[in-house]
Amino acid sequence: MGRWEPNAGDRLREAALELFHEQGYDRTTVEEIAARAGLTERTFFRYYTDKREVLFAGAAALQESIVASIKAAPASTTPLDAADAAFAGTSEMFEARRALARKRHELILAHRELQERELIKLASLGAAIAETVHGRGIGRPAASLIGDTAMAIFMNAFVRWVTDTKKHDLAHHMRATYADLRLATA
């Protein structure tokens, strides 16, 4: 093998999550992940540096999408509203991966090293939002607070979404969480 494989990145990610779920994160090897996906280890390493990275492959694309959406928001939109709408705009993408997102969420909760990596990625997304908001003319201290607040809303909305037995979408939970924040600060 070693040739181009359609959706190899996604297939490896799904295979990894299945195996982590079935036999545990610690016991799963890259070799097994590649085999489950019907690919070689060599192909695996063309996509990911290690098995942990498989779980965070979506972070860069999410950040790009959020930043682009905030930049494109009308000038009349408040920065926090723009960030909120940006996350709500990823709702369909998340909806298509609900089952995987749930497995991933449980896995991360159960492993401290994964939690640490997750927190770093989320902090870096918050910093990117702050930078983008600053680019819209907001001073750095306020922009940084807005970045962290947007992340607090998103992270809470995400947990509500991923554990929601009624299956409302992320946009629904973003609205509800943002409303809760307004109540809490009122």
Q: Which residues bind its own copies (CB under 8 A)?
A: 78-80, 112, 115-117, 119-120, 123, 141-142, 144-146, 148-149, 151-153, 155-156, 159-160, 177, 180-185
Helix-strand-coil percent breakdown of the chain, rounded to 5? Answer: 75, 0, 25
Find the shortest distance in angstroms from Cβ 122 to its own copies. Answer: 8
Find the shortest distance in angstroms from Cβ 79 to its own copies. Answer: 7
Distance CA 40, CA 2 (A): 7
Distance CA 39, CA 31 (A): 9
Q: Considering beta carbons, is residue 100 or 122 the nearer one to its own copies?
A: 122
Find the shortest distance in angstroms from Cβ 85 to its own copies. Answer: 14
Neighbours of 179 (CB within 10 A): 10
Q: Considering beta carbons, is residue 34 or 151 the nearer one to its own copies?
A: 151
Q: Considering beta carbons, is residue 29 or 78 the nearer one to its own copies?
A: 78
Q: Considering beta carbons, is residue 12 or 80 the nearer one to its own copies?
A: 80
Which of 85, 81, 75 lies closest to 135, judged by CA?
Answer: 75
Which of 14, 32, 12, 11 lies closest to 23, judged by CA?
Answer: 32
Find the shortest distance in angstroms from Cβ 131 to its own copies. Answer: 15
Distance CA 57, CA 96 (A): 16
